[in-house]
Amino acid sequence: MRKLLKLIAALGAFALALTGCSGGGSGSDSGSSSKTLTVGFVAVGPEGGWRTANKTNIQNTFSKDNGIILKYAPSDNGDQASQITAMTSFIDEGVDAILLSATEATGWENVLNRAKEAEIPVFLLDRGIEPDNTSLYASRIAPDNVAISESAANWAVKQFPEGAKYVVLEGPAGLSVVNDRNKGWDSVMSTHPEFQKIASQSANWSQNDGKSVTETLLKANPGIQLIFAQNDEMGLGATQAVTEAGLTPGKDVKIITIDGTKAALESLSAGQLSFVAEYNPLFGDIALNAVKKAKAGEHVDALYTVDSVTFDSPEAAKAALPNRAY
């Protein structure tokens, strides 16, 4: 009888242990899944080295290892309508949060209001919206375009103490990034009448367009001394046009670019570009932290400014190149 009782007790303890293990495992799985967030990424799509680096950084950061299921939805050739469609689908699906890199500055009020009504926080990556109604989104995460362009203009003023004839190669019209880069540059140049703006023309963020637009401007306006290209691709195209016009980039014509890609730093190290302002694309960790804070009910800043640096010499570019991630 004693042996039988001991056997029954042992079996009972074993069964309890199994139940405990099973229950603990189930609870662990449930807790893990409850912490997993589904995030929709309404992206711009292919648009040069900077955009590729930014997309890759966001995808690597918003990963399953960090408790995220990321759904990537790039636009169709920069078409805003496709972005609004993707965002609407994410809202209907009930994702936990949405990342938005807007192709256009305006036209977002309706879909942002829908996201707000569904209590889905929206985080603006890189580009802002106009009007900038902060009640419609949780936060914007981006480098400061105005400050970056001001730094480029201040460098130009030091390089040309007597002024210079210059042209501006812009991105597509209507983007907040283009407006902000113009704002920063113009705020400095407006106080320096010795500088003469010859033209300001879109080259669509493209190296090919940067080359063709610069060719036309150089032929029509002999004596251009300075080119402000609002991204690296357009600036690299401008160096080709300057060279083919029989001029020496970096000497006869100084070229400024913004983004800070490896290709631009290589050109600066070779003395073709003259000044490169970084527009740091690696802010996935800041965005992830903001999303998790918002979902936890914690305070999220309306703006997170991403630190960026500038490169004003071949030596500075050469020093940075070995560790350049994009």
DSSP 3-state of 217: helix
Cα–Cα separations (whole angstroms), residue 72 to 38, 45, 69, 263, 319:
11, 10, 10, 26, 35
Cα–Cα distance measured from residue 40 to residue 18, given in angstroms and rounded to the nearest whole number: 40
Is 60 exceeded by the pLDDT of residue 26?
A: no
**Closest C-alpha to 272, from 245, 319, 240, 246:** 240
Arithmetic mean of pLDDT over the chain: 90
User: Residue 216 in contact with residue 241, Cβ under 8 Å?
Assistant: no
**Closest C-alpha to 224, from 280, 277, 168:** 168
Is 50 exceeded by the pLDDT of residue 271?
A: yes
Is 90 exceeded by the pLDDT of residue 74?
A: yes
Residues 80-106, mean pLDDT to the nearest whole number: 96
212-253 pLDDT, tens digit per residue, is: 999 999 999 999 999 999 999 999 999 999 999 999 999 999
- Percentage of the chain lying above the pLDDT 90 cut: 84
What pLDDT does residue 325 have? 85
What pLDDT does residue 253 have? 98
What pLDDT does residue 2 have? 42
Token readout for 76 is 């169709």
**At 172, phi and psi to the nearest 5?**
-60, 140
Domains within the chain, CATH numbers bracketed:
36-142+281-295 (3.40.50.2300), 145-279+311-323 (3.40.50.2300)
What pLDDT does residue 37 have? 97
Number of residues that this document lists for the chain = 326
Cα–Cα distance measured from residue 320 to residue 306, given in angstroms and rounded to the nearest whole number: 18
Residue with tokens 């032929």: 219
Question: Which residues touch 193 (CB under 8 Å, ≥6 apart)?
Answer: 163
What pLDDT does residue 17 have? 35
What pLDDT does residue 35 have? 79
- Percentage of the chain lying above the pLDDT 70 cut: 90
Is 50 exceeded by the pLDDT of residue 25?
A: no
pLDDT band at 78 (very low <50, low <70, confident <90, very high): confident
Cα–Cα distance measured from residue 265 to residue 324, given in angstroms and rounded to the nearest whole number: 9
Cα–Cα distance measured from residue 166 to residue 171, given in angstroms and rounded to the nearest whole number: 17
User: Residue 286 in contact with residue 307, Cβ under 8 Å?
Assistant: no
Q: Note the pTM of the prediction, 2 decimals.
A: 0.85
Distance from the Cα of residue 152 to its chain's centroid: 19
288-314 pLDDT, tens digit per residue, is: 999 999 999 999 999 999 999 999 999
